[in-house]
């Protein structure tokens, strides 16, 4: 199968047309609509954009590295075309007046957005089942979850309607769906990609990233969206290297850290077996395995759910029925307008997280919960820094178990949150991480997560690409 870079070169040369790629993408979206990957499809808009690109190519104009490539966009990343719903009834008809910076940059690189993808409501979840538009279906096995919260983007790539897609990752929302659907998912360093136009869940944790069928494809899309942005005060003024330049350098001599805390209680035997086999393969290829320690890891999930819900409570207060949301018809005064709009518009998981966040920020509990969680966050960051003094990258399973069946997770809410155990610490520390498939158990895929040093995506992706070649799924 051709890579995204190869296909883009063919569009640039006129060997194939962007219009034909978009038509094929739209046809595949229609053929796989039962998977519920998309909330909205940008059919005519995408075809119009593709025709313009084809005319520019025919005129000899230099297009970008994503020339003519159809791309799906998670529906919490705003676009001036179509709706941005965040998977919620409260934003069911919201239309943004502008494009997110990541979307602007992707389009400038020649990409053609073909649709907005399904997700957990306001990105709150790890299964995509909290969406007001129904859960997306995993192409590997439609009876199990697609992962969340960027499940729709993962399903779009896994089902072949697009080669690459944008997602967002607050506590594993790119890496977990990538693991569930047998894809590559990359969450960059916090600040590497502008959050301008990403609808906020937890502002100090959210980061836009990419999905692809290969490391090279995901890296190419990531390159197009990175860089400083004056619209985002948390955007880092750091040079963006070519992430694809080191993909063929191999893994020999790379020191891979294995935190002893990551391979203990809670890791299923099925996942452990696949992961350990992959690590043995890497060691035979010249990688050096070294045990490291992240002692604060045991507090990561608790810390994450305090910080994330606190920030969600603040961020979601803007949805009040006055401005750009639905408005309750049962309101008699301002208070009932707020209360009824939120009660009718938000789903149960979102309400639960808002309540929890409001509680931990309330008088008498702020110091006991929120401030303690922030202290733990600092410890986690320091522990990762110590680990990186002894290794190049840190490795773990992406998920502790195989993807559960649809609906199963709601019988045990704690199991849902503990499913995030390997991914949330990365967001707390603001580090880059990737997940890629390294084996299967029956039809289901097992993902391996690599965690890199801050702003060292190039090295992270070098290791990921070598692993991809050595452990072809």
Q: What is the per-residue pLDDT across 46-75, written as a single tens digit (0 to 9) for each?
A: 999 999 999 999 999 999 999 999 999 999
Is the bond leading into 65 cis (omega within 30 degrees of zero)? no
Q: How far apart are the first and last CA of the chain?
A: 15
Residue 258's beta-bridge partner residues?
291
User: Hey, where are the domains in the chain?
Assistant: 1-473
Local confidence band at 473 (pLDDT 50, 70, 90 cut-offs): low
pTM: 0.97
pLDDT at 409: 82
Active site residues per annotation:
74, 149, 173
Q: Report how far residue 277's alpha carbon sits from residue 309's, in angstroms, rounded to the nearest whole number.
A: 37
Q: Got the DSSP string for 274-314?
A: HHHHHHHHHHHTT-EEEEE--GGGGGHHHHHHHHHHHHHHH
157-204 pLDDT, tens per residue? Answer: 999 999 999 999 999 999 999 999 999 999 999 999 999 999 999 999
Token pair for residue 433? 């991480």
Residue listed under structure tokens 């910080």:
307
Coil, helix or strand for 196?
coil
Element (H, E) at 451: strand 444-451
Quote the CA–CA distance of 37 and 33 in Å, as a whole number: 7
Count Cβ neighbours within 10 Å for each residue of 389-412 and write b for 16 or more, e otherwise: eebbbbbbbbbbbbbbebebbeee
Three-state DSSP at 184 gives strand
Question: What pLDDT, on a 0 to 100 scale, did the predictor assign at position 417?
Answer: 73
| Range 378-393 average pLDDT | 98
CA angle 183, 185, 186 (to 5 degrees): 160
pLDDT in the model for residue 1: 77
Evaluated on CA atoms 73, 191, 450, 392, the torsion sign reads positive
Neighbour tally for 129: CB within 10 Å: 23
CB neighbour class for 363 (10 Å; exposed up to 12, middle 13-18, buried from 19): exposed
For residue 81, is pLDDT > 80? Answer: yes
Mean pLDDT computed over 75-89: 97
**298 is written with which tokens?**
């045991």
What sign does the CA torsion over 402, 405, 407, 410 have? negative
Pairing of strands 70-74, 444-451: unpaired
Quick one: CA torsion of 441, 444, 445, 446, rounded to 10 degrees?
-50
Q: What is the arithmetic mean of pLDDT over 398-415?
A: 87
pLDDT at 324: 85
Q: What is the pLDDT of residues 205-254, one digit of tens each?
A: 999 999 999 999 999 999 999 999 999 999 999 999 999 999 999 999 99
- The CA-atom distances, in angstroms, between 329 and each of 186, 332, 343 are 42, 9, 12
The third-level CATH classification (topology) of the domain covering 1-473 is Amidase signature (AS) enzymes (3.90.1300)
Average pLDDT over residues 435-454: 97
pLDDT tens profile 285-311: 999 999 999 999 999 999 999 999 999
Q: Which residues pair with 35 in a beta bridge?
A: none
| Angstrom distance (rounded) from CA 43 to CA 26 | 7
Dihedral angle at the C-alpha atoms of 340, 345, 348, 351, nearest 10 degrees? -60
Residues 6+ apart with CB under 8 A from 236: 189, 191, 192, 228, 455
Q: What is the dihedral of CA 458, 421, 363, 314, to 10 degrees?
A: 50
Q: What is the pLDDT of residues 15-44, one digit of tens each?
A: 999 999 999 999 999 999 999 999 999 999
**What three-state secondary structure class fits 109?**
coil
How far, in Å, CA of 471 to CA of 80, rounded? 41
Query: Percent of the chain beyond pLDDT 90?
Result: 93
Query: Quick check: 413 pLDDT over 80?
Result: no
pLDDT at 65: 98
How far, in Å, are 24, 261, 289, 396, 400 from residue 264 at the CA level? 46, 6, 17, 11, 10
- Cβ neighbors of 221 (< 8 A, separation 6 or more) are 4, 66, 71, 106, 111, 164, 166, 210, 212
Average pLDDT over residues 77-84: 97
Average pLDDT, the chain: 96
Sole residue written with tokens 């059919």: 43
Give the pLDDT confidence score for residue 200 in this predicted structure: 97
| Whether the Cβ atoms of residue 232 and residue 195 lie closer than 8 Å to each other | yes
* CA dihedral of residues 314, 316, 320, 324 (deg, nearest 10): 130
pLDDT for residue 266: 86
């Amino acid at each position: 199968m051709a890579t995204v870079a190869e296909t883009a070169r063919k569009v640039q040369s006129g060997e194939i047309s962007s219009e034909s790629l978009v038509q094929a993408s739209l046809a595949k979206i229609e053929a796989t609509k039962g998977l519920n990957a998309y909330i909205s499809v940008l059919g005519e808009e995408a075809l119009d954009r593709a025709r313009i690109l084809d005319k520019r190519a025919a005129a000899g104009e230099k297009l970008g590295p994503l020339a003519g490539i159809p791309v799906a966009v998670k529906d919490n990343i705003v676009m001036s075309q179509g709706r941005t719903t965040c998977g919620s009834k409260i934003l069911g008809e919201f239309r943004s007046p502008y494009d997110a910076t990541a979307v602007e940059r992707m389009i400038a690189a020649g990409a053609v957005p073909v649709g907005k993808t399904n997700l957990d409501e306001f990105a709150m979840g790890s299964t995509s089942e909290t969406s007001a538009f129904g859960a997306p279906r995993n192409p590997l096995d439609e009876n199990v979850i697609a992962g969340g919260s960027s499940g729709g983007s993962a399903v779009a790539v896994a089902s072949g309607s697009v080669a690459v897609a944008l997602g967002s990752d607050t506590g594993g929302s790119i890496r977990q769906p990538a693991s569930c659907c047998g894809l590559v998912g990359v969450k960059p360093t916090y600040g590497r990609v502008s959050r301008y136009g990403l609808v906020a869940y937890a502002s100090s944790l959210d980061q836009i990233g990419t999905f692809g069928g290969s490391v090279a494809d995901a890296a190419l899309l990531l390159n197009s969206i990175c860089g400083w942005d004056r619209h985002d005060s948390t955007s880092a003024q750091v040079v963006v290297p070519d992430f694809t330049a080191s993909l063929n350098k191999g893994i020999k001599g790379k020191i891979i850290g294995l935190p002893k805390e990551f391979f203990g209680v809670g890791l299923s035997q099925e996942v452990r077996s696949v992961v350990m086999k992959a690590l043995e393969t890497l060691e035979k290829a010249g990688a050096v395995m070294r045990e490291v320690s992240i002692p604060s890891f045991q507090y990561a999930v608790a810390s994450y759910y305090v910080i994330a819900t606190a920030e969600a409570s603040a961020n979601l207060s803007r949805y009040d029925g006055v401005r750009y949301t639905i408005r309750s018809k049962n309101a008699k005064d301002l208070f009932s307008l707020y209360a009824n709009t939120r009660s009718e518009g938000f789903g149960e998981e979102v309400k639960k997280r808002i309540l929890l966040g409001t509680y931990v920020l309330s008088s008498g509990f702020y110091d006991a919960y929120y401030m303690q969680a922030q202290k733990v966050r600092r410890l986690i960051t320091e522990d990762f820094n110590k680990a990186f003094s002894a290794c190049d990258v840190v490795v773990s399973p992406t998920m502790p178990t195989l993807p559960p069946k649809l609906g199963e997770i709601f019988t045990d809410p704690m199991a849902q949150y503990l499913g995030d155990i390997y991914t949330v610490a990365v967001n707390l520390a603001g580090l880059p991480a990737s997940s890629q498939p390294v084996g299967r158990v029956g039809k289901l895929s097992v993902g391996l997560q690599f965690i890199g040093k801050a702003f060292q995506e190039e090295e992270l992706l070098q290791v990921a690409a070598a692993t991809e070649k050595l452990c072809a799924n």
